[in-house]
Amino acid sequence: MSAETAGSTSEASRPQKGPLVYRQALLTRITHWTWAIALFFMLLSGLQIFNAHPALYIGQESGFEYDNAVLAMYGVTKDGAAVGQTRAFGQTFDTTGVFGVSGTPERPTYRGFPSWATIPSYQDLATGRVVHFFFGWILVAALFVWFLSSLVNGHIRRDVLPMGEDIKGLPQDVADHARLRFHHGRSYNALQKIAYSVVFFILFPLIIATGLTMSPGMDAAFPWLLDLFGGRQTARTIHFSVMALLVLFFIVHILMVFAAGPINELRSMVTGWYRTSPNTPRQEGDRP
Amino acid sequence: MSKLMVTRRRFLGLSAAGASSLVLAGCDQFDFLGDRENQVRGVLSKANDLTYHVQRALVGQQALAREYSESEIRQGQRPNGSRDPDTAEYLALKANDFADYRLKITGLVENPASYSLAELRNMPERTQITRHDCVEGWSCIAKWTGTQLGPLLDAAKVKANARFIVFHCYDDMGSLFSGPELYYESCDLVDGHHPQTILAYGLNGQTLPVANGAPVRVRIERALGYKQPKYVHTIELVDGFSQFGKGKGGYWEDHGYDWYGGI
């Protein structure tokens, strides 16, 4: 309750609005929305591709005569009914309706991920690959543009890489987030910087490199990819795991947008202009 | 206090709305992309041409696929696609243990040729332990023995206007519904001359079994499994694919898969 009390008093005694600051450059905004679209299609086409062989392994190859699987989704028949099962690290779970078997009880379909999670909704590996590789190129092109422009306009240094100051202020920032009490500053806060750094400098490079490791052509050009990731099938497992982390990031990202004020956050990601908290020092170029 | 409570409730409600719209979006709105003739699909497919050209530029023409050690062969080669062709021609050859088998090299060559299985086995041999990557996502390591395709192409003297190599196969992928559809595949001349591109007649130290493509299957080690045709009887040098199948350069390509198949 104390957090709410604190929240209401600060809202009630709000003296005036902070300045409107220009926070996101045009290229930052364009690449952001490009990724939003590209990642949406990559996720759903990726799950379509996964469904062609809904199992993940550790090593160079897939064990058919021995077991090196860490995840498998499949359907079995129990008492005449289709039951979906997921085996992860040796533990078997009943996942009927979502993984292994989905659809209606009258017309169950045997598939890894359900039809609402794949493009196309039905089993079609060829189309999944067409969509996945197209948006893969889009994703990489946007990343290239973003890296170049953000190095030049200072976005990476100013907003993305956590600095000493951010680390010092981290405990306070965590406490503020836990109370859904946000300070809307000129730059990003420590947790934002850490989250975006992880996405840009760890997750994106990792999902692209593991994706390329699955290509027999790229493996001939860069055989060290196979050594770096411990084999093609391990690379496929990492690719899938990073996908799950990006989905987690997306969920938190969206929740934070709503928690921090969806109108202001959306405006800044569309127009670049962001309403800061009261008492934010004014600078030249700000709008009232 | 009430203001923040509302904000929280709205926040949860909006989140739920956002999540459900995402879920709905995944439904069948994009099923039109599955239509092989769809124009948007045609545009998206252009990315595969880009991948092909970029990989050809990036990957040295002679760069080898990884070769593994004997100890890394931990299981038999998993067969996929056709496992026991039932065309009359194939059954007749199989009944005689492929003694009458001939591999023909035709098309845009100066010296068309034809080889028996014994002749192929007497040519310089190459054995390679490689990883077979299926388009479905799985991999399997096996030892393949055969003779390189490159020297056979040189002996046949490929004409200057030849651009691709088409492999014609005995197995029929068709159904009662579609009618006969004989498997075929193709590759460019770079892959044709690649040192690891072999006409394989042996698998894991044994004669190549029927399930894996007896008597001869092509190995193109820098490509996915569907680019490695089994039950091959004719190698034809061509300048285009329009006269074969649906003109896309292979059975799976005719069914919507990318021609390059290197990723």
Inter-chain touch B139–A233, beta carbons under 8 Å: yes
Question: Between the CA of residue B5 and those of A3, A196, A253, B15, B51, what are the distances in Å?
Answer: 11, 29, 21, 15, 52
| A103-129 residue pLDDT tens | 988 889 999 999 999 999 999 999 999
Residues of A in contact with B46 (CB under 8 A): 134
Mean pLDDT, residues A127-132: 98
Structure tokens at B3: 């203001």
Residues of B in contact with A124 (CB under 8 A): 34, 256
Residue B217 domain-assigned? yes
Query: What's the pLDDT band for A244 if we cut at 50, 70, 90?
Result: very high
Can you tell me which residue has the tokens 């035709």? Answer: B106
Number of domains in chain A: 2
Give the end of a domain, one of A112, A128, A145: A112
Residue B11 domain-assigned? no
**Most confident region among A15-24, A185-194, B207-216 by mean pLDDT:** B207-216
* Neighbour count for residue B63 (Cβ, 10 Å): 17
| Host domain of residue B175 | 66-254
Query: What's the pLDDT band for A21 if we cut at 50, 70, 90?
Result: very high
Structure tokens at A189: 């806060």
| A258-274 residue pLDDT tens | 999 999 999 999 999 99
First to last CA, chain B: 56
Q: How far away is chain A from the Cα of B74, in angstroms, using its nearest Cα?
A: 8
Inter-chain touch A232–B139, beta carbons under 8 Å: yes
Mean pLDDT, residues B132-151: 98
Say if residue A12 is in the same domain as residue A84: no
Higher-scoring residue by pLDDT: B206, A164: B206
Choose the closest CB to B65 out of A66, A216, A236.
A216
The pLDDT assigned to B23 comes to: 55
Choose the closest CB to A226 out of B1, B22, B66.
B66
Inter-chain touch B59–A218, beta carbons under 8 Å: yes
Say if residue A180 is in the same domain as residue A67: no
> Cα dihedral sign for A210, A215, A218, A223?
positive
Q: What is the ipTM of this complex?
A: 0.90
| A134-156 residue pLDDT tens | 999 999 999 999 999 999 999 99
Query: What's the pLDDT band for A40 if we cut at 50, 70, 90?
Result: very high
Q: How far away is chain A from the Cα of B192, in angstroms, using its nearest Cα?
A: 15
Residue A280 domain-assigned? no
Choose the closest CB to A120 out of B33, B76, B222.
B33
B250 by Cβ neighbours in 10 Å (0-12 / 13-18 / 19+) ranks as buried
Torsion angle of C-alpha atoms A280, A284, A285, A287, degrees rounded to 10: 40
The pLDDT assigned to A88 comes to: 97
Between CA A183 and CA A172 the distance in angstroms is 11
Residue B140 domain-assigned? yes
pLDDT at residue A180 tops 90: no
Residue B27 domain-assigned? no
Give the bridge partners for B105, in sequence order.
B113, B235
| A55-106 residue pLDDT tens | 999 999 999 999 999 999 999 999 989 999 999 999 999 999 999 999 988 8
Number of domains in chain B: 1
Query: What's the pLDDT band for A185 if we cut at 50, 70, 90?
Result: confident
Is B50's Cβ below 8 Å from some Cβ in A? yes
| Host domain of residue A239 | 2-23+154-275
Query: What's the pLDDT band for A187 if we cut at 50, 70, 90?
Result: confident
The pLDDT assigned to A10 comes to: 47
Angle between helices A125-153 and B39-58 (to 10 degrees): 70
Mean pLDDT, residues B1-29: 56
Residue in chain B nearest A122 by alpha carbon: B31
The pLDDT assigned to A9 comes to: 44
Beta carbon pairs, A and B, within 8 Å: 184
| B54-78 residue pLDDT tens | 999 999 999 999 999 999 999 999 9
Residue A65 domain-assigned? yes
Mean pLDDT, residues B148-157: 98
Between CA B25 and CA A142 the distance in angstroms is 23
pLDDT at residue B99 tops 80: yes
Residue B152 domain-assigned? yes
Say if residue A271 is in the same domain as residue A216: yes
Residue A286 domain-assigned? no
Residue A267 domain-assigned? yes
The pLDDT assigned to A15 comes to: 56
Query: What's the pLDDT band for B176 if we cut at 50, 70, 90?
Result: confident
Residue A216 domain-assigned? yes
Say if residue A59 is in the same domain as residue A16: no
Query: What's the pLDDT band for B10 if we cut at 50, 70, 90?
Result: low
Between CA B43 and CA B31 the distance in angstroms is 16
Choose the closest CB to A221 out of B23, B50, B59.
B59
The pLDDT assigned to A182 comes to: 86
Between CA A195 and CA A246 the distance in angstroms is 11
Torsion angle of C-alpha atoms B56, B62, B65, B70, degrees rounded to 10: 170
* Residue at B141: amino acid letter: I
Instruction: Give the list of residues 6+ apart from residue B137 with CB closer than 8 angstroms, or none.
Output: A49, A50, A52, A53, A214, A236
| Domain CATH number, residue B84 | 3.90.420.10
Mean pLDDT, residues B242-251: 97
Residue B263 domain-assigned? no
Question: Between the CA of residue B80 and those of A69, A165, B182, B217, B230, what are the distances in Å?
Answer: 20, 58, 16, 13, 10
Residue A283 domain-assigned? no
The pLDDT assigned to B5 comes to: 47
pLDDT at residue A174 tops 70: yes
pLDDT at residue B26 tops 70: no
Say if residue A206 is in the same domain as residue A248: yes
Q: How far away is chain B from the Cα of A157, in angstroms, using its nearest Cα?
A: 31
Residue A133 domain-assigned? no
Contact (CB, 8 A) for B158 and B149: no
Q: Which of residues 202-221 of B touch A (CB under 8 A)?
A: 221
The pLDDT assigned to B175 comes to: 87
Lowest mean pLDDT among A5-9, A165-169, B130-134, B248-252: A5-9
Mean pLDDT, rounded, of chain B: 92
Residue A29 domain-assigned? no
Say if residue A164 is in the same domain as residue A268: yes
Residue B109 domain-assigned? yes
